[in-house]
Amino acid sequence: MTPPPTTFPCPLEAPAVSTNAQLFERAQRSIPGGVNSPVRAFRAVGGTPRFISRAEGAYMWDAEGTRYIDYIGSWGPMILGHGHPAVLEAVLSAAREGFSFGAPTEREVELAEAIIERVPSIEQVRLVSSGTEAGMSAIRLARGYTGRSKIIKFEGCYHGHADALLVKAGSGLATFGHPTSAGVPPEVVQHTLVLEYNNVEQIEAAFAAHGADIACVMIEPIAGNMNFVRAAVPFVKRIRELCDQHGALFVFDEVMTGFRVALGSAQSVYAQAIPGFTPDISVFGKVIGGGMPLAAFGTSRRVMEKLAPLGPVYQAGTLSGNPVATACGLATLREISRPGFYEALGARTRTLVQGLQAAADAAGVPFVVDSEGGMFGFFFTSTLPQNYTQVMATDQARFNRFFHGLLDRGVYLAPALYEAGFVSAAHTEADIAATVAAAADVLRAE
């Protein structure tokens, strides 16, 4: 007699849960910390994470039905807002044709061409699935091209969770880094030098000591993982000069800033201040995927020819150039390329940060803001920080109170002092006004 088939409970049949707290408790039983990316756990600010059930335009709704004005935008990709009609139609159409083929498609060629057309420093591009993958691959390419091992990064810049990049600064000037994550052996980061952001003297000392061995310098031109800190123009200019002088490559990590701060990305902003400026390798993510898992790295044809299958630097990915993701990214790039898009987006973002600054000034609260395109940041201090140490000295307790005050009033900021904010084309004047009014209310209570 054949035994009856074994049956297992289906997760889709789990009892309905209506509150964020209940969902978080349930999540912690099956997912480490209850989240799939650490900052979502609200550990930095305290309290219960909001479990989002849906989003539209500039808004998100949580499991309890509460609506929030969204200034995370999926950590940057949703530059058009959630569910833009043209993007949604492109994704649905592509999904009907097939989710993944494991073979080349015309659409990935179109997306590569679209990126190259908008970023003059790039002649060829390789599509991948995440910013971490793109950053890791860019470093491998730089090492393969130069035949060198050492890399320079800056404290406070985040380039994904590849082992060689999970490092903190050493104890002295231009020292090698030490792992900041368990599971990363010290020997893996022995070739990574970690310097202070915006410190010209340190970068000069590093090249003086190790110039012949440095493969690349990697930087976030606007560091969005220590809130919003710009690389000073003289700092960027000096790195460019030192890389040229010593034969190293200058890598711009534009996973966050790419197509977010300008159509030509952050490198176009620096080119306005530094005539002829270009990075050697550019890394993109977020906006180019429009909310789908997609990233890229690119540079000159001469350097990219070192990549397999043409050259000895190996890189591959099953879902690279995914047809649904490329459809989403292409539709997004088409919409943001419309005349006047960035002028309007930048003006909307400036209205927000100026309103926040005015509210803080009226309340007598130390507060500074900055923005570029659709990206912004603020700190509870009297002067804009220039590096990670200065960011860490700002008033985190006040930020946490401000975050929860706005959250209680229906405004969703990043749940950590160290994260930038994002405005989308879907945010209206009324949304901005409501946000500023909520901020003023919270700041008056300080």
Count Cα atoms within 13 angstroms, Cβ side, for 215.
18
Calpha distance 247→347 (Å, rounded): 40
Phi, psi (deg, nearest 5) at residue 385: -65, 150
Active-site choice (280, 286, 342, 388): 286
Cβ neighbours of residue 440 closer than 8 Å, sequence gap 6 or more: 359, 362, 363
Helix (H) or strand (E) holding 178: strand 178-179
Annotation marks residue 286 as catalytic: yes
Name the active-site residue from 68, 71, 158, 342: 158
Residue 440, classed as helix, strand or coil, is helix
Determine the angle formed by the axes of helices 233-246 and 265-273, rounding to 10 degrees.
100
Residue 253 designated active-site: yes
Residue 18, Cβ density class (10 Å: 0-12 exposed, 13-18 middle, ≥19 buried): exposed
- Residue 193: strand, helix, or coil: strand
- Beta strands at 150-154 and 124-128: parallel, antiparallel or unpaired: unpaired
The catalytic position among 70, 253, 280, 431 is 253
Report how far residue 134's alpha carbon sits from residue 136's, in angstroms, rounded to the nearest whole number. 6
Give the residue numbers annotated as catalytic, written as ranges: 158, 253, 286
